Amino acid sequence: MITLTHAMVLAAGLGTRMRPLTDERPKPLLPLGGRSLLDHALDRLDEAGVRQAVVNAHWRGAQIAPAVEGRATPAITVRHEDVLLETGGGVAAALPLLGDGPFAVVNGDAFWLNGPSPALSRLAAAFDDDAMDALLLVVRTAQVEGEVGRGDFLLDPLGHARRPKEHEMAPYLFGGVQILSPRLFAQVPEGPFSLNLLYDRAIEAGRLFGLVHDGVWFHLSTPRDLKRAELALRTGLARAPF
């Protein structure tokens, strides 16, 4: 169990599959349920007790700082990336701002409804710093509307995560919410790289784990996905499975 104090929101992506909605603004600033996706993510971090948050920006990045300047909590630092650093490079560049211990990373387009307990609090309670380098919130593919492909991960009874093998289907998708240890970033490449590189290292070391989400998670890849989520929220059709 850890206490979350620092976090990062990944808001620098190009949002190409969400076009034309993202032609003139970054995907995390798209509205859903009366607030931007970025505000929803920051609300969840605030709810979990996070005091310091980093938000990176690239595509239409000048819009990010004005969008968050009115928030009192958490305290936010916006890092503009002149060159898109991808997920891993973006977090690596922000490490000096993310404290000394494990921290949360949330995708800027991740949107979820909590189950009986807040998802970030569940992750913090489950994170074992001695055994884990990363703990990912994963979602059952059977509960996801939209493309799931072959899935992302399989979990053993202890929560160890691994990738699907050839011709194997994985029952879980990564939900875009995670807790990472700074150890994960030892000897990382310079410049852009994906967090997937570090997940694979952690899998080899037996230190990548998953926690299954017990609430509702929305797949937000295309404008159709966003409309579907808006309708579900407006009509009250979105309900946690417990």
What domains are there in the chain, each with its CATH number?
6-235 (3.90.550.10)
| Whether the bond into 74 is cis, omega within 30 of 0 | yes
pLDDT at 113: 93
pLDDT at 234: 85
Walking along the chain (242 residues) 10 residues at a time, the average pLDDT comes out as 95 92 94 94 96 95 92 94 95 96 96 93 96 97 76 94 92 96 94 96 97 93 91 73 42
Phi and psi, residue 224, nearest 5°: -65, -40
pLDDT at 146: 66
pLDDT at 242: 39
pLDDT at 241: 45
pLDDT at 149: 75
> Could you tell me the pTM of the whole model?
0.93
Distance CA 177, CA 189 (A): 23
Distance CA 69, CA 166 (A): 47
